[in-house]
Amino acid sequence: MEENKKLKNEVATLKNNIEYLDKDSRKRNVIFHGIDELEENPHKLLKLIVPDEIKTFKDFPLSQRTLKALKENNYITPTDIQRQAIGYALQGKDILGAAKTGSGKTLAFLIPILEILFCKKWTRLDGVGAVVISPTRELAYQIYETLRKVGYLHDFSAGLIIGGQNLKFERKRMDQMNILICTPGRLLQHMDENPLFDCSHLQILVLDEADRCLDMGFEATMNAIIENLPPKRQTLLFSATQTKSVKDLARLSLSFPTYVAPHEQATTATPEFLQQNYIVCKIDEKFSILWSFIKNHLKQKSLVFMATCKQVKYTYELFCKLRPGISLLALYGTLHQEKREKIYREFCRKSNVVLFATDLASRGLDFPKVNWVIQYDCPEDVDTYIHRAGRTARGVFGKGDGLLMLLPHEEKIVEDLRKNKIPINQIFVDASKVMIPLRKIESLLSDNGELKKTAQRAFMSYIKSIYLMKNKDIFNVQLLDTDAFSRSLGLIVPPAIKFMYKYNKSATENNVLGIQDTNDAIKKLKAKLSSDERSDGSESEADNEPVVVVAEETKTKKEIPLFDFHNVKVGSDEKHLFKVKEKNVSIDIAVLPNEDDVPTKKNAKPSTKTAVVKKILKSKVKVNTTVKFGEDGEVIGDEKKDVKSDLGKQFVNENAITVDIEKMSELLQEEDKFDKARFRERVKAKHKEQKRKLKNKKKEDEGEKDDFGSQSESDGPDLSWLPDPDKVYGTKDDYQNSETKSVSDYSENDYSNESVTSEKNEEFHRPPKRKIVESEDIPRESINPRKVKKIEDVSASLTVNEAEALAMQLLKSK
């Protein structure tokens, strides 16, 4: 104790001097020499920092700058992990830190980073002194923000190096950074490509969510990063589910790491005030339960975890269209970085909101005041459960609720959870209170092709994710009622699950042959599927094709508004609602066809494109050829495709497999001659046809002129119907006399003088003003009625004399 007190005083003096030194640099070296002495004897500090004696951050030998910033951000009392880890870290020890979610691990490594670099007089010119690696961009961003808060009084430069940002911008500044917060991929990219990046002086390496950073997903990247780092460094590993794997630790070449786990003896592995529940339901009930939950928690902040990006996308898009009355957000890896950041910030800011997310958001993210964490799909393992559930009930007295949704066969995971000190209780949902507008969803999907595709992708991605799970005791794709699942998503026709069909087929074949080890084939298939699932691009076309199996008519549920998960029903009747009905657990229906559907060899419809091609090739049908038939059924050859040259014919007869380029070019030249000749002929014929048409048109035009202009004689009107003028007016002579007379009369006498006229009339017998004469030898019916009408009109308008003159003229011309 005495020694401790002495050391404390020593350090207090040093600290004061360090602050003082900021103003007076002349004494700097003397003081740092003192700190160096302490560093050389770490056990001195170890004795000095007794975790149980630490009440506030002031009790640590921290710089005033750090203490001030901590105070400003209301960090007064250190949490358990901070109390235990900071001391060891300040001594330069490698640390394996494990503590419950939301227990403040971030500060447990950020404070030592600041203090160690500060004590080492790190400056901008010294380059990268500390690197913090986080598995996700969002978490890296969050750590960076915390660092800015608690380290703003220090002179260090810090950089956030994550994917999706401007690489050029980062590249120029990398050599000036003292503390880097990064994701593995981007860090390695700089190590590989950026000549300005130098981390040879690195002092501290931190892996947040260390078990995730070191797992299979990042294995190669992390190995490459570690190779590029100086072996002499301090390494700190933190996670709520810490790795103890010797292999992992060996990879990091930790030297006698100190295991810091303040909650190891705790009764629970999850936060104290986290209320954890689970329900068991059928696969087709999950979607409606989720919808009902959201509708009944409109004034809360909920986070829903789903297995795949595509499920998140579909649920988000569909629920937005259904308008639940609360703001909805979706966060998943395939989103653009800017969007991801925006959604992350929005979810942090809002208080009544639902965020659908993949496991991208399951680790480390410190969303404030989340009321509910719903694990819509069963987590891969206990660790994933812990991290997901830990997004609520965070901080010192944080409270929250968790709900795990399980399918009947997934209930086994509860045993594992309980074994791992996770207190979880079963609750029951009153089925009568569950509702979803399924008809509306179906009609939305039928109207919106894009949404339907998203639904199909969501369906497929879920099935694939289950198929790829390691733990086959819990995740068994063959126990999924895929038809019911598809219907619950609004898909009347379930998409075909071809990979399963292939898998089952190969398994059956191998069984028949007595081959035990089919692992290689399955592994290949799995690798392909997992790469599909991870990829940003759309699923293969095949996955979106509808299945051959005809779906049953979709059942609709009554829409009943009230819903309460806390309404635990103990009555046996209520319990039955969620018991597994064996007939609904159709093992093979969706995956393997029914016996009736099993295709016989003859009538089998090929299910894949390869099978179709094989069938076509077998039937010796020439693909991509067109046969034209004439009217009499004779085959008409395709002139274009027929070879004309002798060389071409010879080539066709040879049926050569290999291609001789020179010969081919010669052949093409020969064929080209024929083609050109054919083309010339066609042009000629076209010109000829055009000329002919022009001629015809000209003729037609002339004909039209005849009709309406000078009429030809032959086409003249038929005047045979007119009465014989000799009969009517006497002989030709009489006629000539009368004509002369009348003309002179008309000229000499006033035509209007009636007396004269009457006299003349007496001399000449004039027929009364006549109508069209109906002569006996010309039957009226034989005359064109239109002509008759026309003549009647003309004659009615003429005076007798005019009519006579006209008639005479006509006769003359005849």
184 versus 364: smaller Cβ distance to ligand ATP = 364
Binding part of the chain for ligand ATP, among 99-107, 174-182, 325-333, 471-479 by CB under 6 A, reads: 99-107
Q: Is 78 in the site for ligand ATP (CB under 6 A)?
A: yes
From CA 94, how far away is CA 206, in angstroms rounded?
A: 10
131 versus 289: smaller Cβ distance to ligand ATP = 131
Closest CB 65 distance from ligand ATP, rounded Å: 17
127 versus 390: smaller Cβ distance to ligand ATP = 390
Q: Kind of pairing, strands 179-182 and 130-133?
A: parallel
Binding part of the chain for ligand ATP, among 105-113, 162-170, 249-257, 480-488 by CB under 6 A, reads: 105-113
From CA 414, how far away is CA 216, in angstroms rounded?
A: 25
Q: Residue 491: left if φ>0, alpha if ψ -120 to 50, beta else—which one?
A: beta
Q: Is 397 in the site for ligand ATP (CB under 6 A)?
A: no
Q: Is 107 in the site for ligand ATP (CB under 6 A)?
A: yes
| Cα–Cα distance list, 427 to 34, 153, 412 (Å) | 61, 50, 16
Token reading at 641: 């495709």
Which amino acid is present at 336? H
Site string for ligand ATP, 365-384 (x = CB under 6 A): -x------------------
Closest CB 143 distance from ligand ATP, rounded Å: 9
SS3 (DSSP) at 329: strand
Roughly what angle, to the nearest 10 degrees, separates helices 661-708 and 646-654? 130
Q: Which of 61, 97, 112, 390: binder of ligand ATP (CB under 6 A)?
A: 390
Q: Which of 394, 452, 457, 464: binder of ligand ATP (CB under 6 A)?
A: 394
Residues 6+ apart with CB under 8 A from 210: 96, 237, 238, 239, 242, 243, 248
Per 3-state DSSP, the chain is made up of helix, strand and coil in percentages (nearest 5) of 50, 10, 40
248 versus 366: smaller Cβ distance to ligand ATP = 366
Closest CB 471 distance from ligand ATP, rounded Å: 23
SS3 (DSSP) at 323: coil
Closest CB 244 distance from ligand ATP, rounded Å: 17
60 versus 291: smaller Cβ distance to ligand ATP = 60
Residue 546 DSSP label: B
Q: Which of 17, 66, 84, 106: binder of ligand ATP (CB under 6 A)?
A: 106
| Cα–Cα distance list, 507 to 87, 514, 520, 521, 588 (Å) | 57, 10, 12, 9, 14
From CA 59, how far away is CA 38, in angstroms rounded?
A: 17
85 versus 404: smaller Cβ distance to ligand ATP = 85
Closest CB 369 distance from ligand ATP, rounded Å: 10
The total number of residues shown for the chain amounts to 814
Q: With residue 234 as reference, give the H or E element that holds it.
A: strand 234-239
Binding part of the chain for ligand ATP, among 273-281, 372-380, 390-398, 758-766 by CB under 6 A, reads: 390-398
Q: Is 311 in the site for ligand ATP (CB under 6 A)?
A: no
Binding part of the chain for ligand ATP, among 78-86, 173-181, 601-609, 741-749 by CB under 6 A, reads: 78-86
Which amino acid is present at 7? L
Q: Is 135 in the site for ligand ATP (CB under 6 A)?
A: no
| Cα–Cα distance list, 55 to 60, 77, 79, 198, 674 (Å) | 9, 6, 10, 39, 100
Closest CB 102 distance from ligand ATP, rounded Å: 4
Q: Is 51 in the site for ligand ATP (CB under 6 A)?
A: no
Mind giving me the DSSP string for 293-335? HHHT-TTSEEEEE-S-HHHHHHHHHHHHHH--SSEEEEE-TTS
> 3 exposed, middle or buried (CB, 10 Å; 0-12, 13-18, 19+)?
exposed
By CB under 6 A, the residues from 56 to 75 that bind ligand ATP are: 75
Binding part of the chain for ligand ATP, among 29-37, 392-400, 578-586, 787-795 by CB under 6 A, reads: 392-400
SS3 (DSSP) at 51: helix
Q: Which residues pair with 354 in a beta bridge?
A: 302, 328
User: Closest by alpha carbon to 229, among 248, 256, 203?
Assistant: 203
Determine contact, residues 435/288, Cβ cutoff 8 Å: yes
Closest CB 273 distance from ligand ATP, rounded Å: 13
From CA 55, how far away is CA 623, in angstroms rounded?
A: 83
Q: Is 400 in the site for ligand ATP (CB under 6 A)?
A: no
Q: Is 44 in the site for ligand ATP (CB under 6 A)?
A: no
Site string for ligand ATP, 225-244 (x = CB under 6 A): ---------------x----
Q: With residue 403 as reference, give the H or E element that holds it.
A: strand 400-406
Closest CB 365 distance from ligand ATP, rounded Å: 7
Closest CB 624 distance from ligand ATP, rounded Å: 59
Q: With residue 460 as reference, give the H or E element that holds it.
A: helix 449-468
240 versus 404: smaller Cβ distance to ligand ATP = 240
Q: Is 495 in the site for ligand ATP (CB under 6 A)?
A: no
Site string for ligand ATP, 707-746 (x = CB under 6 A): ----------------------------------------
Determine contact, residues 368/348, Cβ cutoff 8 Å: yes
Q: Which of 87, 104, 129, 402: binder of ligand ATP (CB under 6 A)?
A: 104
Closest CB 274 distance from ligand ATP, rounded Å: 12
SS3 (DSSP) at 136: coil
User: Closest by alpha carbon to 97, among 271, 235, 266, 238?
Assistant: 238
69 versus 444: smaller Cβ distance to ligand ATP = 69
Q: Which of 34, 163, 395, 593: binder of ligand ATP (CB under 6 A)?
A: 395
Binding footprint of ligand ATP on the chain (CB under 6 A): 75, 77-79, 82, 99, 101-107, 240, 364, 366, 390, 394-396
